[in-house]
Structure 1
Amino acid sequence: MQIHGCVEKGKFAGNLVVRSALLCLYAKCGKMKDIHLLFESMKQRDLFSWNIMINGYAVSACADTSFSLFQSMLAEGKTPDCFTFESLFRATIQVKCLETVSELHGFAIKLGLERSHELIRSLIDAYGKCGSLGNARKLVEGPMRRDLISCTSLITGFAQRNSFTSDAFDIFKEMILMRTQMDEVVVSSMLKICTTIASSSIGRQIHCFALKSSQIRFDVALCNSLIDMYAKSGEIEDAVLAFEEMEEKDVRSWTSLISGYGRHGNVKKAIDLFNRMEHEGIIPNDITFLALLSACSHTGETELGWKVFNTMINNKYGIKVREEHLSCIVDMLARGGNLEEAYELIRSENGITRLGSSAWGAFLDACRRHGNMQLSEVAAAQLLSMEPKKPVNYINLASVYADTGDWDNALKTRKLMKES
């Protein structure tokens, strides 16, 4: 602000280059109100000024404003360049709008910008993160375009959407064969893909490759991916080793291992690790508690599960109860046959609207398994109201009526299914 004040008092107050530099300064500091006022006061605006504005709002997660500015820029007769499109692709990723990515891509081709490596990288990232991995894959074709940034963008897209795993492995192999420089981001994404397919053998090979490479830094994110991969692939001892070797740990590191212990049925070690986490001053988050509740649910530790739930809701950490937490508790109680208690919790927590269909489905199965037809009917009716287009929900409700001997309602429900 002091620099801006000096500029306004000096002879360069109206200079376009100086005012554009001020725009850039405000944008980098995230001062979007100030940048807007400055931009509106400018009598002259060149492409650089517009690009700063469009990019500033894109970086500040104000995608709609970026698009509006782009329209205004075109109305003023300015022709966008690669930097303009890179900023706009960043904005499309925020709103996940594939149609806009395609339209911008077409516009860039019309302007003759399709050969720009920087633009192609941004496009690969945008297509990948907006769900069109096929288009992203096409853009990576061709040796001139297979650099670290483009390949990483594509592999990251595959990892985020849990699809095209064989393509991801092919690209990774090609990167190795072409001796493309690697970094921890691409390795972390490959480990995530190994986690998805539960392949500890491939994950271990990638781990060894990373250890041998002098280019790859074992940062917190990469180590977390290692813990997650080993834990979810059934190699809990290797997950523990990766965890203990970390020089610095964040909440995700602790949560991943807690979740791993829970998945392997070792709720005691999960609780012990949680206590150690608290002792070391790491503040747990909602996912940490979800991992603990899930561990208690799968091992039938009802009393311990309640204890964890009460620890979470006592406002010590300011964590709000989410649908997933409620679902875990309901599932835990239902598995143990405490159906009335589970239903009371649903009602007291406004769970009738908050509980998802998967939780209601688990509750229904438990009610039928324990022979509670009254609550079975409640659960089946709730599922039907939530997802009226699913035939299985009609079948479930009809089956509940049949179990209680209410054949009239059973037939009516099946008739409704045919009509829907």
Structure 2
Amino acid sequence: MMRTYLQMDSLGNRIVNLLNACTSSTQLHQIQAQILVNNLHPNTKIHSHFIHASESLGLLNSALLFFNQLQKPHVFICNSLIRAFSHSCSPQTSVSVYTRMLNASVSPNHFTFPFLLKSLSDLRYLDQGRSIHSQILKLGHLNDIYVQNSLLNVYASCGDMCTCQQVFYEMPQRDAVSWTVLIDGNRNSGELDEALITFERMLYSGVSPNRVTMVNALSACACSGALEMGVWIHDFITKNSWELDVILGTSLVDMYTKCGRIDVGLSVFQNMHQKNVFTWNALIKGLALAKSGKEALLWFFRMETEGIKPDEVSLLGVLCACSHSGLVEVGKQIFNSMVDGRYGFSPGPKHYSCMIDMLGRAGYLQEAFEFMGKMPFEPNKVMCGAFLAGCRAHGNLELSEIAGKKLVEVEPENGAYYVLLSNLYAEMERWDDVERVRLLMKERGLRKDLGCSSIELKEPTNHVYELLAV
């Protein structure tokens, strides 16, 4: 009997070595056959190495089939498979593994939940996240900071910032990850001021930010125009001698260009030792927003010269630059190059919208109208809005009417488009049509949203008054 155990142990070690050296699906399946023939699949060590080999080769379904043959898998095996699928393109399988684990009466531990919750975050499964939250409470694993941070991430990813904040404030300890998740969640929910306030509170609490924190804070600064905070973050990075890697550097370039400091953004860009396509895109989009069309084109062509392959965002940025600067012929050439397949992808709706905007701004209204008719898809509200803006800017009421009608057709529940069309008819003194549109609005139960603005009067009480335009 001792000899049999030794032989099995020796065979197990050989199989582990073979799994570590496995380089193809054929080899993996041959090893799998040997494991099954020798009834070694319940062996936790062998099974975990099989999962790792399957993950390395992109054959996680083989590991799942192997796992399903176990009557009562060890919790370590379950955790390994949940982790592997949480990093795959099928994170929903992590949830299936967890369900199978519970059905087999295998009790999860605190290593189970971070990767399971990561999958739920990626999938935006809020209801299942709440259910797992309840199970974590029952099992007594809520005191683990990794589990707590993973819960925060589920609620933040799903946009439930109320629950996210509640979990955050109930945490006895918070680290940089906790604060960063809250900052990112507020930023993604459009609560930019709250994101920056959270960042400031993090600093006052004595928790040191990490690189991910700074990237999220810089993104909030870029979106809200909080240049002063962005400059402070840049100074912090410099004073603490942080290496300006490609992600942090790109965030700085994006922040400066969106806040109107093109000169500083360009300086950061030029001082970066490593750049990727996102870095170039940040600069080109920033120049486009600043209406520096010719300079944006120069950097776009330089990007190609330096061997960086433009992506869809690069082309969108350069087309916007052409639109804002009136570089119609150059914009047409670049767009036609996309159609011809030079960049390896076809133009999408946003690229077509840019072309319509460019032609409309330049007064090429008939060409813009014909361009819309030749598109491989129906115009959307952005395209119709861009066309209408061009028509209005150049006083073409006839084509404005066509654009207005199309907007009503594309989004019939939007009362603002009916009002816009009615006002167009009023400008053309077509009063019967004005009445017809208003009756149509009434039949469909639509009304124009009230315009709103606010003003703060310092005397006598610093009160903010809200004004409605009726």
Q: Distance in 2 between matches of 1:365 and 1:267?
A: 20
Q: Distance in 2 between matches of 1:143 and 1:59?
A: 27
Q: Say yes or no: does 1:21 pair with 2:48.
A: yes
Cα-to-partner distance string for 1:299-348 (whole Å, 9 max, x where unaligned): 22222221222233331211221111111110111112211100111111
Query: Contact 1:255/1:291 (CA < 8 Å) preserved in 2?
Result: yes
Change (3 A) 1:111 1:409: same
Instruction: State the superposition RMSD in angstroms.
Output: 2.3
Residue 230 of structure 1 corresponds to 256
Which among 394, 400, 405 is matched to residue 418 of structure 2? 394
Offset at 1:379? 1.5
Amino acid of the structure 1 residue aligned with 2:62: D
Gap runs ≥5 in structure 2: 1-14, 20-27, 445-470
Residue 74 of structure 2 corresponds to 46
Query: Contact 2:408/2:417 (CA < 8 Å) preserved in 1?
Result: yes
Q: Distance in 2 between matches of 1:316 and 1:44?
A: 55
Residue 338 of structure 1 corresponds to 364
Change (3 A) 1:116 1:311: same
Q: Distance in 1 between matches of 2:41 and 2:340?
A: 58
Gap runs ≥5 in structure 1: none
SS, match of residue 82 in structure 1 = coil
Residue 201 of structure 1 corresponds to 228
Amino acid of the structure 2 residue aligned with 1:64: Q
Offset at 1:12? 6.6
Which among 304, 324, 343 is matched to residue 298 of structure 1? 324
Amino acid of the structure 2 residue aligned with 1:317: Y
Q: Which sits farther off after the overlay, 29-38 or 241-250? A: 29-38
Q: Distance in 1 between matches of 2:408 and 2:201?
A: 49
SS, match of residue 140 in structure 2 = coil
Query: Contact 1:85/1:119 (CA < 8 Å) preserved in 2?
Result: yes
Higher helix share: 1
| Pair member with larger Rg | 2
Query: Contact 1:24/1:52 (CA < 8 Å) preserved in 2?
Result: yes
Normalising by structure 2, report the TM-score.
0.82
Amino acid of the structure 2 residue aligned with 1:389: E
Q: Distance in 1 between matches of 2:42 and 2:131?
A: 35
SS, match of residue 73 in structure 2 = coil
Amino acid of the structure 1 residue aligned with 2:160: S
Q: Distance in 2 between matches of 1:18 and 1:12?
A: 13
Change (3 A) 1:111 1:269: same
Q: Distance in 1 between matches of 2:275 and 2:139?
A: 48
Query: Contact 1:26/1:34 (CA < 8 Å) preserved in 2?
Result: no
Normalising by structure 1, report the TM-score.
0.91
Offset at 1:132? 1.8
Offset at 1:406? 3.8
Change (3 A) 1:110 1:280: same
Superposed, 1:283-294 pairs within 5 Å as: 283-294=309-320
Superposed, 1:56-67 pairs within 5 Å as: 56-67=84-95
Cα-to-partner distance string for 1:32-77 (whole Å, 9 max, x where unaligned): 1221222133344122222333332222132333323333332222
Change (3 A) 1:359 1:262: same
> How many aligned residue pairs are there?
416
Which among 119, 122, 140 is matched to residue 94 of structure 1? 122
Q: Say yes or no: does 1:154 pair with 2:178.
A: no
Query: Contact 1:368/1:376 (CA < 8 Å) preserved in 2?
Result: yes
Q: Which sits farther off after the overlay, 182-191 or 358-367? A: 358-367
Change (3 A) 1:70 1:376: same
Q: Distance in 2 between matches of 1:107 and 1:55?
A: 19
Offset at 1:414? 1.1
SS, match of residue 188 in structure 2 = helix
Change (3 A) 1:383 1:204: same
Q: Distance in 1 between matches of 2:310 and 2:105?
A: 53
Amino acid of the structure 2 residue aligned with 1:241: S
Change (3 A) 1:77 1:132: same
Offset at 1:114? 1.7
- Report which structure shows greater RCO (CA 8 Å, sep ≥6): 1
Cα-to-partner distance string for 1:94-126 (whole Å, 9 max, x where unaligned): 222322222221221122222121110101111
Cα-to-partner distance string for 1:184-236 (whole Å, 9 max, x where unaligned): 1111111111111112221111110111125x432101000100111111111
SS, match of residue 142 in structure 2 = coil
Query: Contact 1:63/1:91 (CA < 8 Å) preserved in 2?
Result: yes
Change (3 A) 1:336 1:274: same
SS, match of residue 78 in structure 1 = coil
Query: Contact 2:192/2:224 (CA < 8 Å) preserved in 1?
Result: no
Query: Contact 1:23/1:49 (CA < 8 Å) preserved in 2?
Result: no
Q: Distance in 2 between matches of 1:265 and 1:106?
A: 52
Query: Contact 2:192/2:223 (CA < 8 Å) preserved in 1?
Result: no
Cα-to-partner distance string for 1:339-367 (whole Å, 9 max, x where unaligned): 1100111111134x2x3313312212322
Residue 419 of structure 1 corresponds to 443
